[in-house]
């Protein structure tokens, strides 16, 4: 059920719009200012397009494009003019918005940051991408964890970014912290199309969670993003899908967080997010609550190591033109040099 793309909104529905935004080419502060205005104008278009829309979602790289340029002159601050413009657009159009910036990080590489802004202009979610798409992306690993917030209409909302969604642990963490809707914004290009589709569905089904996912779209003359806006229900059913690759199309659907809550409470078979921590509850009261997974224990201990660790050939960004890093995680450039 998607309410004819949100045209017929139910009392408990949340209408989401995914913007398959035209991929920009941003090299200068003037380009950045112009692209900010493009996004502001698209917020207004979303509101005009569908009066029932609660949340409009822009892809990763909507502001900066796919150049991977770390020029500080075009990096953003959360309290900077670009974000201020996004906040005003949400107020002016009485709509929630999800936005992407590359965030200035003095003493380190920039963060790939996602923001959710409510219809009063308040930044209610601030997330830094935990898993940059290495070796292609130079961004600093995120340090804020995965926040889950009260979203539109009382829904529980989380945001992950692009490559994050290839790690099932990311979606599981969102659901474990209560998310009923998980946004996934991306800049992915066509070679990732199939894995994009099945991970969006798997992330939903394995966690009884709605996923709303969108990529940049079109070409900047070098890169070609694929659009592929997808809204997936908690049972893994795709309820809206932008398959045409049409730039600036807004893919919409109504989703029902109340039915997520009902399923999580009422499902027996395939209630996997519950059963993970209650193994075999038919045989033993309450199920086994141990942690049988070696990789979890090793990550906590800081000893995560693959059996084929020594055979892994790509372990830094030199193959993509970036210098080999010398800092350890948590160090700043100055600290590493001392």
The CATH number given to whatever domain includes residue 61 is 3.60.110.10
Residues 155-184 have a mean pLDDT of: 98
**Does residue 127 share a domain with residue 247?**
yes
Q: Which of 147, 144, 223 is nearest to 186 (CA)?
A: 223
- For the question of residue 331 being annotated catalytic, the response is no
Cα–Cα distance, 165 to 336 (Å, whole number): 31
| pLDDT band at 123; cut points 50, 70, 90 | very high
Cα–Cα distance, 183 to 196 (Å, whole number): 13
DSSP 3-state of 72: helix
DSSP 3-state of 1: coil
Q: With contact defined as beta carbons under 8 Å apart, do 204 and 232 qualify?
A: yes
**Does residue 232 share a domain with residue 158?**
yes
**Does residue 251 share a domain with residue 312?**
no
- For the question of residue 90 being annotated catalytic, the response is no
DSSP 3-state of 221: coil
**Does residue 13 share a domain with residue 157?**
yes
**Does residue 316 share a domain with residue 240?**
no
What is the reported pLDDT for 1?
A: 59
Indicate which residue of 129, 156, 173, 217 is catalytic: 129
Q: Which two tokens stand for residue 180?
A: 């009923």
Indicate which residue of 60, 103, 140, 249 is catalytic: 60
User: Average pLDDT over the chain, rounded to whole?
Assistant: 96
pLDDT at 90 over 70: yes
How many structural domains comprise the chain? Answer: 2
Angle between helices 168-176 and 193-205 (to 10 degrees): 30
Asked, for residue 281, whether it belongs to a domain, the answer is no
**Does residue 326 share a domain with residue 245?**
no
**Does residue 228 share a domain with residue 92?**
yes
Asked, for residue 199, whether it belongs to a domain, the answer is yes
pLDDT at 338 over 70: no
Cα–Cα distance, 87 to 92 (Å, whole number): 9
**Does residue 305 share a domain with residue 270?**
no
| pLDDT band at 243; cut points 50, 70, 90 | confident
Asked, for residue 165, whether it belongs to a domain, the answer is yes
Indicate which residue of 162, 174, 215, 217 is catalytic: 162
Residue 227's alpha-carbon distances to 69, 184, 187, 212, 251, in angstroms, are 22, 12, 8, 13, 10
- For the question of residue 153 being annotated catalytic, the response is no
Residue 327's alpha-carbon distances to 110, 160, 332, 333, in angstroms, are 14, 25, 7, 7
Domain region containing 323: 294-337
């Amino acid at each position: 059920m998607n309410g004819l793309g949100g045209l017929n909104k139910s009392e408990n529905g949340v209408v989401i719009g995914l913007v398959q935004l035209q991929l920009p080419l941003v090299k200068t502060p003037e380009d950045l200012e112009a692209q900010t205005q493009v996004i502001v104008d698209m917020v207004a278009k979303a509101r005009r397009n569908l009066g029932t829309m609660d949340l409009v979602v822009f892809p990763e790289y909507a502001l900066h494009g796919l150049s991977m340029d770390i020029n500080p002159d075009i990096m953003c601050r959360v309290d900077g003019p670009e974000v201020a413009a996004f906040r005003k657009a949400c107020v002016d159009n009485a709509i929630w918005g999800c936005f992407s910036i590359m965030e200035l990080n003095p003493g380190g590489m920039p963060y790939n940051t996602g923001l959710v802004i409510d219809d009063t202009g308040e930044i209610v979610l601030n997330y830094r991408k935990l898993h940059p798409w290495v070796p292609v992306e130079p961004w600093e690993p995120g340090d804020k964890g995965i926040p889950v917030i009260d979203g539109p209409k009382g829904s529980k909302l989380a945001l992950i970014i692009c490559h994050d969604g290839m790690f099932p642990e990311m979606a599981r963490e969102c659901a474990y912290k209560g998310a009923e809707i998980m946004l996934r914004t991306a800049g992915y290009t066509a070679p990732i199309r199939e894995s994009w589709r099945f991970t969006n569905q798997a992330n939903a089904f394995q966690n009884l969670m709605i996923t709303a996912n969108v990529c940049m779209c079109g070409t900047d003359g070098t890169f070609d993003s694929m659009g592929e806006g997808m809204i997936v229900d908690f049972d893994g059913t795709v309820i809206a899908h932008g398959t045409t690759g049409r730039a600036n199309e807004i893919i919409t659907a109504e989703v029902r967080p109340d039915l997520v809550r009902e399923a999580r409470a009422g499902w027996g078979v395939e209630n996997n997010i519950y059963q993970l921590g209650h193994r075999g509850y038919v045989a033993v009261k309450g199920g086994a609550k141990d942690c049988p997974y070696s990789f979890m224990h090793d990550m906590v201990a800081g000893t995560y190591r693959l059996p084929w660790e020594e055979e892994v050939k790509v372990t830094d960004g030199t193959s993509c033109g970036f210098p080999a890093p010398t800092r350890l995680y948590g160090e700043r450039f100055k600290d590493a040099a001392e």
